[in-house]
Amino acid sequence: MNLTNLLDLMKTDITALTKSEQLIASLVVTLLSMCIVFVVLMVIMAAVKIMTKSSSKPKKEKEQIIVKEDIKQDEDNKEIVAVISSAIACALNTTTNNIVIKKIKKSENSDTSWSKLGRIEQMSSMLGGYEYDKKI
């Protein structure tokens, strides 16, 4: 008896099978079904990985652009421009005369609330720690 017949009989009239045939048939069902379940879930897994890769690529490029574009100009907020340019000058150990800011672009804040909280805690500890906490 081949496997197709065995499964057919199992579906329609299981009593026609002997105990050992029933055992073989159910083992075949188990093996076959688990393989299908694993294959389907692995296909989904692969698809998720592909989706993740394709959606994260442009994001990286964007981030790089943002970093580069950080040193550029925005006419509306002169104060912010002044602060940013002096900060850059300070970081580069030079004066504001030596740098030209072409465009400043606001980068999207992708921080989670956890990292924001972490930063606030860091800042508060630098600002005198315990007393600052108490004020909050």
Which residues contact another protein by CB under 8 A?
Answer: 7, 10-11, 14, 22-23, 25-27, 29-30, 32-34, 36-45, 47-49, 51-52, 55, 59, 110, 112
CA distance 74 to 46: 43
Closest CA to 49 of 60, 38, 41, 59: 41
- CB closer to another protein out of 26 and 86: 26
Contact call for residues 124 and 136 (beta carbons, < 8 A): yes
- CB closer to another protein out of 34 and 117: 34
Q: How far is the CB of 45 from another protein (least distance, A)?
A: 4
Q: How far is the CB of 79 from another protein (least distance, A)?
A: 32
The 8-class DSSP code of residue 72 comes to B
CA distance 124 to 122: 5
- CB closer to another protein out of 58 and 79: 58
- CB closer to another protein out of 114 and 130: 114
Q: How far is the CB of 36 from another protein (least distance, A)?
A: 5
> Measured in whole angstroms, how far is the alpha carbon of residue 72 from the centre of its chain?
29
